[in-house]
A and B are shown apart, each in its own frame.
Chain A
Amino acid sequence: MKRTTFALALAAVAISNGFALLHVWLNRTGTPAASLTLRDSRATPPRGQQTDLDFRLPWHVQHGPWLSLDTLRQLGFDCSVGLTDPRADVFYRRQPPRKVFVAGELQNEKAGALLPTSELMLFDAALDADALRGRYPDASKTVVLPAVLNLRLVTAHEGELQPQLTADVNGLSTQIHIPKPFSDQIRANHFAPHLLHLNFGRFHEPWVTGVDFPGHP
């Protein structure tokens, strides 16, 4: 028993680290699923005493229902109850969420002006990542990410004229760590606005491949 517990403790460390590193290696080998260039205008160093740098990619969906009823049905949601039906609120609130893949387009500009920091606009979803990538093959503009969707009925008292069915996005992982030597370059340039080059691997997890400072020699 005594030896077993010690071996178990060692195995917990070895197996979990082994799996994590294998996962990273598998994610980063082969052709990247997407390669994006983001604008980051964060001009302040990290807060507190932390020395690591990371970047949180802002994302949004368009106001109101961003997925059609047909898409929601294809994702497995039951949309059979009319939106004005008195049972609709409880019916749609009780629907279990769906693990899906969402497609996001990188936006660097808004209404003719440059955005200080790139944003991701989510615009489509599917159960199969490859099918979604097939619909939007431009891997330099569109990224496919895993997410969880919850169905929600937007009722008239929430400012809408008619009840609408929308999907709330959960579990989207958009925190990106900036390792050395790129973090050193950002620090050396006093956190000046920069471009971050990212690759997304087979598990849709990103990593930084370069950093540029436009306008700097």
Chain B
Amino acid sequence: MADREEAQAQANRIRNLQAALSNTEVASVLDLSSEQRERFAHWAAGHLAELERDFDVDLTPGQGSMSWGLRIASALGGVALSASLVLLFHRYWGDFDTWLQVLFVLAAPLAFLAAAEYAAKREHTRYFAGLLSLIALAAFILDLSVLGQAFNITPTERSLLAWGIFALALAYRYGQRLLLIIGLLFLISYGCAAVTATLGFHWLDFGTRPEHALVIAILVWGVPLRLAHQRHPSFEPVYRAVGIIVFFVAVTALSEGSPVSYLPLVPETVRVFYEVLGIVVAAGAIWLGIRRQWSGQANLGALFFCTLLISRFYHWWWDWMPAWLFFAIIGGFGVGVVIALKRLRRPA
């Protein structure tokens, strides 16, 4: 068994089978003997107990809702405690000598890393390990920021690389998807900033050149195609989701704002080009998502497909069309999308 998500999926399958067998119609079709029914009940109870012991899986819908609550509370707690740590340090750091500041900011990420390691060994669910590893990342961000400030070091993009590697290492160690998202965003930012700096621009201007993010987002999306995540199968949709979101945010910036593009075209043509590209890629993402059963990708593709198409309609028609007619067309378009997606969803 790879991780808790896979164990949970297996527990869900056993519970579904238990529910199906307790249905009189299914029971009459299968016509199992009492001995077979007993053998299955014994196996299912034993296997579920094993999964609960090893992976702390949810065995009832109530436990499932509680797990989501725990996950959200753990993430929010981690964010709040990280903010508290940063504010606490800024409240008092002017009172410390420089060597003490350095010692504190260097020790903080290592201490929280050790605490996360201890928590991970004590609990299967990793809620506390997740919370502590999030604080360890915040402490590491604080560490490099404070060193930069205290010694007047010219800021560079390399900090983003260090934070990205650290976040990814913690994500893989403790199976934390939130840390994977944060780490990927740091690494995408680093990639954009490094290319921007190499081309001679100031690295902090990386946001003004969305085409770099566009290319890096495709690379991130493609990672699960090259690297199989057998230990963390739930990480593959995260790579795809981060890749798709960054790709479409870049496309939206290129098609809606006043972007600086490498394309040798006038700005209006660049905008139209990226709007059309975005719509085509979104349609392709929906198709591929349904074909490969990547539900997250299909949903994100549908979201961006509608957003980009509505934006194009707005540019074409809003100025000369009565508002009621514009919204009627948008409504009709929504109905059309529902019909098209229902057809795509139908099994071949």
Is A215 interfacial (CB 8 A cutoff)? no
Tell me the complex Cα distance, A21–B147, Å. 8
Is A65 interfacial (CB 8 A cutoff)? no
Q: Are A180 and B96 in contact (CB under 8 A)?
A: yes
Instruction: Give chain A interface residues in 66-81, CB to chain B under 8 Å.
Output: none
Q: Which of B91, B92, B140, B152 contacts A176 (CB 8 A)?
A: B152
Is B225 interfacial (CB 8 A cutoff)? no
Q: Which residues of A contact B (CB under 8 A)?
A: 1-2, 5-6, 8-10, 12-13, 15-17, 20-21, 23-24, 27, 46, 49-54, 96-99, 146, 148, 170-171, 173, 175-177, 179-180, 183, 203-207
Tell me the complex Cα distance, A207–B165, Å. 30
Q: Are A54 and B172 in contact (CB under 8 A)?
A: no
Task: Give me 16 other A-B pairs in contact (C-beta within 8 A), A170-B205, A171-B204, A180-B95 excluded.
Answer: A5-B170, A8-B168, A9-B173, A13-B143, A20-B147, A51-B90, A51-B93, A51-B95, A52-B90, A96-B200, A146-B154, A148-B201, A173-B152, A179-B98, A205-B151, A206-B152
Q: Are A1 and B154 in contact (CB under 8 A)?
A: no
Residue numbers in A under 8 Å from B93 (CB-CB): 51-52
Tell me the complex Cα distance, A21–B144, Å. 10
Q: Are B143 and A17 in contact (CB under 8 A)?
A: yes
Q: Return the chain A residue nearest B147 by Cβ.
A: A20
Is B109 interfacial (CB 8 A cutoff)? yes
Q: Are A24 and B153 in contact (CB under 8 A)?
A: yes
Q: Are B202 and A97 in contact (CB under 8 A)?
A: yes
Residue numbers in B under 8 Å from A206 (CB-CB): 152
Write the nearest CB–CB distance from A205 to chain B, whole angstroms: 5
Q: Are B113 and A9 in contact (CB under 8 A)?
A: yes
Contacts A8-B169, A9-B170, A170-B202 given: A49-B147 contact, CB under 8 Å? no
Residue numbers in B under 8 Å from A1 (CB-CB): 172, 231
Q: Are B94 and A16 in contact (CB under 8 A)?
A: no
How many residues of B sit at the interface, in one of the four size bands? 35 or more
Q: Return the chain B residue nearest A7 by Cβ.
A: B169
What are 25 inter-chain pairs, A to B, with CB distance below 8 A?
A5-B169, A5-B170, A8-B168, A9-B170, A13-B106, A17-B144, A20-B147, A20-B153, A23-B153, A24-B151, A27-B151, A51-B91, A52-B90, A52-B149, A96-B199, A98-B200, A146-B154, A148-B202, A171-B204, A173-B154, A177-B150, A180-B95, A180-B96, A205-B152, A205-B154
Q: Are A183 and B169 in contact (CB under 8 A)?
A: no
Q: Are B90 and A175 in contact (CB under 8 A)?
A: no
Residue numbers in B under 8 Å from A179 (CB-CB): 97-98, 150
Write the nearest CB–CB distance from A7 to chain B, whole angstroms: 8
Q: Return the chain A residue nearest B144 by Cβ.
A: A16
Q: Are A12 and B165 in contact (CB under 8 A)?
A: yes
Write the nearest CB–CB distance from A52 to chain B, whole angstroms: 4
In the complex, per-residue mask of B90-132: 1 if CB is within 8 Å of any chain A CB, else 0:
1111111110001000100110010001000000000000000
In the complex, per-residue mask of B151-162: 1 if CB is within 8 Å of any chain A CB, else 0:
111110011001
Write the nearest CB–CB distance from B320 to chain A, whole angstroms: 30
Write the nearest CB–CB distance from A125 to chain B, whole angstroms: 14
Q: Return the chain A residue nearest B205 by Cβ.
A: A170
Is B148 interfacial (CB 8 A cutoff)? yes
Most buried by B among A1, A9, A27, A49: A9
Most buried by B among A15, A17, A170, A173: A17
Residue numbers in A under 8 Å from B294 (CB-CB): none
Write the nearest CB–CB distance from A119 to chain B, whole angstroms: 18
Residue numbers in A under 8 Å from B152 (CB-CB): 173, 175-177, 205-207
Residue numbers in A under 8 Å from B87 (CB-CB): 49
Tell me the complex Cα distance, A20–B153, Å. 8
Residue numbers in A under 8 Å from B326 (CB-CB): none
Tell me the complex Cα distance, A176–B150, Å. 8
10 nearest A-B residue pairs (beta carbon): A51-B94, A171-B202, A52-B94, A9-B169, A16-B162, A8-B169, A5-B173, A12-B166, A148-B202, A24-B151
Q: Are B113 and A203 in contact (CB under 8 A)?
A: no
Q: Are A97 and B144 in contact (CB under 8 A)?
A: no
Q: Return the chain B residue nearest A198 by Cβ.
A: B152
Tell me the complex Cα distance, A11–B325, Å. 61
Instruction: Give chain B interface residues in 65-108, CB to chain A under 8 Å.
Output: 87, 90-98, 102, 106
Contacts A20-B147, A20-B148 given: A148-B159 contact, CB under 8 Å? no
